[in-house]
Chain A
Amino acid sequence: MVDLATKTILHDKLRFGITVAGVAFAVALVLFQVGLFLGLLDNASVTIEHAGADLWIMSKNTPNVDFAQPFPETRVERVRSVPGVENAGNLIVSFMVLSLPSGAQEGALVYAPEDFHAWSLPWKVTAGDVDDLRRGPYFFLDESSVKRFGAFDVGQYREVVGHRLKILGSTRDAKSFTTTPILFMDYALAQSLNPGTLRGGTTYILVKVAPGADVEAVRREIQARLPHNDVLTTAEWAAQSRSYWVKSTGLGLNMVLTIFLGVLVGIVVVAQTLYTSTMEHLKEFGTVKAIGGSNADIYGILGKQAAISAVVGFVAGVVPSMLARGPIAKSGLQLIVPLPLLGIVLVGTIAFCLLAALLSFRKVAAIDPGLVFRG
């Protein structure tokens, strides 16, 4: 079968280039926006997902992992007594003020687990040994803090809420949604730095369920014993932490609006170029009809041209998005483009390009094949 659709669309390379550019722009816009959004959301729950706990226990109505509220640390004993609990431990997550060598002050998010070995916090140590954190006024600082705190070296000192602490090591990939740098220190040290709030208190209890135990049953039992706390699975807690930022910051609305605009631009460009192309090729479509072709034959041509524009434009939009991941990562952001997202965007691009072709469908449906006789 002679491929009139492909040959015609490739015959006018400039127009095809404009169509593809329009689609590629829309695809890249959507991928960048959603990818950056997913990257930010990943930061919002990265510590939850890496900690290695099955259940998280927190104060009632804690909105997200960063905004923790203290409660008595002794509640962990009640948790440990629940059947099916293999391990339970306290974790303090708390904002503290860090003084920089310049004299400026910045906020820092302290993660202080009671037992560093029970939980994967931190999960990627690039310098130092977490066991040393128990020995005195020390802390580990994540490498991502350089943008906010400036360069640092292990062995240097920083003031945390007025106390001089030594940087004993560094970590990687421990980030918060707000980009507030994360530092890791001993549980007791964290309590001593903020005694007014944290003395005798913790902000989370992490629970590891015994192999074979029913996580949901354990969760229900803990919830029954700690009625003044919330008990969530890791997945629930990560989802809630991400959802908080989506809903409270308008980021979700911003993303939806950008996607809408991207898609709109893509549809308009494709519809406009396809329609113009259709108008210029009306006589050819009339000829197709005159030699016995039906409207379905012409719809097939237009649909195929729209699909070709969609697929080529999709590829042209994906390539820069993928190439940009490295430079974006260097700036401290993440562009996360999972395969399902690519699949959804591809299907959406084809669907929207076909939608854009509907305008042309309407035009060719009304073609009078008699126009082929006009000079």
Chain B
Amino acid sequence: MKSKVNIKTVSYYATLGILVIFFLMPAYMAVVTALKQPGDITLPTSWDLPATLNWASFSEAFAMLRPNLVNSFILTICATAGSTILGSLNGYVFSKWKFKGSEIIFTLFLFGMFIPYQVILIPLFQTLRAMNLYGGLPGLILAHIVYGLPITSLIFRNFYAQIPDSLIESARLDGAGFFSVYLKLVFPLSIPGFVVTSLWQFTQIWNEFLWAITLTRHSENPITVGLANLAGGQAVSWNLPMAGSIMAALPVLCIYIFLGRYFIRGLLAGSVKE
């Protein structure tokens, strides 16, 4: 019995240790490299802590990536807001106001969730050009709203399925119509749903690269494209892209640090419905 416990404990800590190294090594490398002088980045010492802290990497990278960061914030906030709000409206209809054909529309929505981005890239590019939206942020925002809708609608539909129908009926008896049921009852109860979907959307849109590089002009490039350009040159001094990478990762990380537990809880609520 005793030896069993030991094997269990050992395997616990061994797994933990390997995981920590495997998951954290890249983060460690990024931080350490970002803080070094360009000249200090060499093979034998790449693992070491920097001799002197070179905070200048961050200010330099920030100066270079500032426009991209601004673009990314505009893009991500607008597209996240758009796709979650519309997703919530759709989820409300799909779960509480089913009509003839709503199941079919919903299934079509689901397929939309799995369309690989690159498949739609070319015609989307052409369509946005025809709509005179190619190259700027509004076009990219619109594209992200549209392709975020399936997942946000799905999450909200499952979320609203947990609100008992009798609650809606009760509000109808009280005299609330379609809109006031949403505004006064469903919306106030959806805050956890909004947390989950907006976290998901924020991460997706902030991190997205392919559309960003294809659908925007240089001046409108979001951070992912800016970073790729910064790291793309061959004679690259590694401290700058690393500092940039850390800055690019920060917004999402911060959000998860503050709201992460709601995210897990929300996922749990949606996925283990018995």
Do A and B come from the same complex?
no
Interface residues of B (CB under 8 A from A): none
